[in-house]
Copies of this chain bind each other. A is one copy, B any other.
């Protein structure tokens, strides 16, 4: 009703289903999936929840969300389409449907990954063009999957007569980031705008997104799983979720377990973004201050205990104008951009010293 006819909507909406259905489709499982912590049986899950069955139910469910996963391929097709199916959940009120259950395509140009188009979900079962009217040269493609939903099925379509082939993982190393909804991608505007994805494209590194919305609480079973991953570095962006008391109780176990299994890997701690909901809500303000105070105290205790290569990145993560959140809790794209301006320089300096990255 609202999206009345205009050239752009004609171009993008009305063409999309009819035209997309005429493409030749290949199951994405025949292409290359990247962004997973470890090779596991469930293709579109981030973590093997059967192997780590002791993790809390909510955490296990969230690890079925495809945040940070992407399909890479090459094609000479002038049109790229997709058919994809997600679960029957709807987009949360603080996210776009494109981000939570849609697709986000990038194409390599002059050595850089450049935005090409999105897959706009129409409910949980969509057929749509991602990009059209391209020249017919061979292109390397990177397609991010939904941040807040499980992918049940995905097929990539190209024009009949064009070819599509798997591409080798263009990103090297493995930097594991464990954290909250903010890490999972709330509230980036599209899947590729989650901050680990932005870092991967910019630096050609594998950032592994282990964000679990509202549930990055450092439980022992989750800490054991994180430490099992063969990461080159570990980033802990989990301060927003546990209570201040849980932070005091649980941080040391997580850090020490990672350190025990990875004697050389840098471990980087990031405090919670300011919660703009705490500008006037005194309880929220107090809670976030205590979370960050306790996280910093744990860092200092661990350093004093001799844990090497442990870092704490501080700074004003969302700026000073209070405009960088969608809802007082989660950064919008402006917030993520400001967050990267603070954490990116020290983080990349730390990672530059890791052999092989």
- In this assembly, does A97 line the interface, its C-beta being within 8 Å of a C-beta of chain B? yes
- In this assembly, does A323 line the interface, its C-beta being within 8 Å of a C-beta of chain B? yes
Stretch of A18-26, A36-44, A128-136, A203-211 that contacts chain B? A128-136
B residues in contact with A336, CB < 8 Å? 334
B residues in contact with A281, CB < 8 Å? 117, 131-134
Assess the A3–B328 pair: CB atoms within 8 A.
no
Chain A residues near B (Cβ < 8 Å): 1-9, 11-12, 58, 61-62, 65, 89, 91-98, 102, 107, 109, 114-118, 120-122, 131-135, 139, 148, 187, 189-190, 193, 198, 213-215, 217, 240-241, 243, 275-277, 279-284, 287, 322-329, 332-337
* A3 CA to B287 CA, complexed, in Å: 20
Assess the A92–B7 pair: CB atoms within 8 A.
no
* CB nearest to A201 among chain B residues: B323
Instruction: Give the contacting residue for A333; candidates B93, B133, B279, B332; CB below 8 A.
Output: B332
* A214 CA to B2 CA, complexed, in Å: 9
| In the complex with contacts A96-B95, A131-B281, A118-B213 CB distance below 8 A | no
Assess the A121–B133 pair: CB atoms within 8 A.
no
Known pairs A11-B283, A94-B96, A187-B189 / 4 extra A-B pairs, C-beta < 8 Å? A7-B241, A107-B280, A135-B282, A193-B332
Assess the A115–B328 pair: CB atoms within 8 A.
yes
- Can you show 25 pairs from A to B with CB atoms below 8 A apart? A2-B62, A2-B65, A2-B89, A2-B148, A5-B214, A6-B215, A6-B217, A8-B284, A91-B91, A93-B121, A94-B97, A95-B96, A96-B187, A98-B326, A107-B279, A109-B279, A115-B276, A115-B323, A117-B277, A131-B281, A134-B280, A134-B281, A189-B325, A190-B332, A334-B336
- With a 10 A CB-CB cut-off, give which of A65, A133, A327 has the most chain B CB atoms: A327
* A287 CA to B12 CA, complexed, in Å: 14
B residues in contact with A334, CB < 8 Å? 332-334, 336-337
- A288: min CB distance to chain B, Å: 10
Instruction: Give the contacting residue for A243; candidates B7, B280, B322, B325; CB below 8 A.
Output: B7
- A341: min CB distance to chain B, Å: 11
Instruction: Give the contacting residue for A93; candidates B4, B120, B276, B282; CB below 8 A.
Output: B120
| In the complex with contacts A96-B93, A96-B94, A327-B118 CB distance below 8 A | yes
B residues in contact with A102, CB < 8 Å? 93
- A275: min CB distance to chain B, Å: 8
| In the complex with contacts A131-B277, A215-B6, A325-B115 CB distance below 8 A | yes
Assess the B190–A327 pair: CB atoms within 8 A.
yes
Assess the B283–A133 pair: CB atoms within 8 A.
yes
* A152 CA to B215 CA, complexed, in Å: 37
B residues in contact with A217, CB < 8 Å? 6
Assess the A198–B323 pair: CB atoms within 8 A.
yes
